[in-house]
Copies of this chain bind each other. A is one copy, B any other.
Amino acid sequence: MKRLGILMLIFASVCCAQESGNYQPSETNVWGSEYPRVDSTGRVQIRVKAPDATKVKVNFWSGPKVDMVKQPDGFWTVTTAPLVPGFHYYNLNIDGAEVSDPGTHAFFGGGRPASAVEVPEPGSTYYSAQDLPHGEVREVWYNSKVTGSWRHALVYLPPKYDTQNSARYPVLYLQHGAGEDETGWVRQGHANFILDNLIAAGTCKPMIVVMAYGYARRAGQPAPDLTGKPFGSPEMLKAMQDMAAAFEDDVTQALIPYIDSSFKTLSDRDHRAMAGLSMGGMQTFQITLDHLDLFSYIGGFSGAGGMLVLGDRKLDPKTDYNGAFADPGAFAKKVHLLWVGVGTAEPERMRAGLQRLHTSLLDANIQHIFYESPGTDHEWQTWRRDLKDFAPRLFPQISE
């Protein structure tokens, strides 16, 4: 009987012991999937069934792009050189088709469900589930008049949120990167476990973390027709600016009011932070510096006002961001934390751009933190470390 067959085969894959050596299945795998697997040196083995294919490649987005080798049993295999610890997106290319590996869960990146392997960082437990109180992640839908649509967001609530009825909490707005969505900080980043662990250790104040969907188009605004417009054309840049402006209004006019009316927040600027990675860092700089009446803590993770906003030039404190950096004393009074981070193995132009932002801020006498994640690329291990350094610096005025 076919249904029973399916049930039993799935059951077998979930429950049955399978051989493995020094290699261990990646944490990102679906049940019972032995591949991808990782050894203690960080080497990754991939294996996929494609008996009739003539060429199969694996493409790590920030790592090796290598041909796989066909085995007599119809499977294709490859072993990489050791990869740096962390979460690595990849896809397969099977006879020219760019597809995901069915052996791993899907993580939304690059604008589609992507495969990923997790290379453990020896001794690092800060981003995994520990035996201590866990917060909740809530899915919420809010009605945005800006976009004219119901929008989905994830909200982390710290342990005891429900039982401490009189407590109110500060809020961190935390944004994903381009090609990702509101699920990234939990699924890929483990932001919830990072916060659980920091809060349990007493090194971070209990806070609400809001993770929103970082794309927006104004209600009634047609999708821009960029047919025939070259890459980087003024029309495309204009469309990007329109999207950024619509998202800014969505955050300030729809999301923040929704959060403050739905959760037990401390709703003044002294208890509101924003941070984001890559595109989310750019959005953070734009939104917070346009709205210092709303925010007092600012984090840019591998994005910030780096080269994507400033290009290859230095920050001009008098004019950039409407002169928000023009008066260091006034800025320091308003902004309790300005935090910029980058991985030392990120692409040179990203690294140099953020380094230049850092020196620009130094030259302008703007107090800030510049954090460099050793050995990590434009990937989630960098942003996990960023959050681990950033979150404990927030809301020092709150007593335990």
Q: Which stretch of A95-103, A337-345, A368-376, A379-387 is in the interface?
A: A95-103
**Docked pose: A83 CA to B99 CA in angstroms:** 25
Q: With A52-B54, A224-B16, A349-B1 as known contacts, state yes or no: A150 contacts B134, CB within 8 Å.
A: yes
**Docked pose: A49 CA to B98 CA in angstroms:** 8
Q: Which residues of B contact A100 (CB under 8 A)?
A: 99-100, 102, 106, 113
- Say yes or no: B136 contacts A6, CB within 8 Å: no
Q: Which residues of B contact A129 (CB under 8 A)?
A: 141, 150
Q: With A30-B112, A30-B113, A350-B3 as known contacts, state yes or no: A96 contacts B10, CB within 8 Å.
A: no
**Smallest CB–CB gap between A277 and chain B, Å?**
12
List residues of A (184-222) whose CB comes within 8 Å of B's CBs: 186, 192, 215, 217, 222
Q: Which residues of B contact A307 (CB under 8 A)?
A: 1
Q: With A15-B243, A16-B225, A49-B96 as known contacts, state yes or no: A143 contacts B162, CB within 8 Å.
A: no
**Smallest CB–CB gap between A46 and chain B, Å?**
13
Q: With A8-B232, A50-B96, A134-B141 as known contacts, state yes or no: A31 contacts B111, CB within 8 Å.
A: yes
Contacts A10-B110, A54-B54 aside, 8 further interface pairs with beta carbons under 8 A come to: A8-B236, A10-B178, A30-B111, A50-B96, A54-B95, A97-B99, A100-B100, A136-B139
- Using a CB–CB cutoff of 8 Å, the interface residues on chain A facing chain B are 1-17, 30-33, 48-56, 74, 92, 94-100, 102-106, 108, 110-113, 129, 131, 134, 136-141, 143, 150, 162, 165, 178-179, 186, 192, 215, 217, 222-227, 231-232, 236, 239-240, 243, 262-263, 278-279, 307-308, 347, 349-350, 378
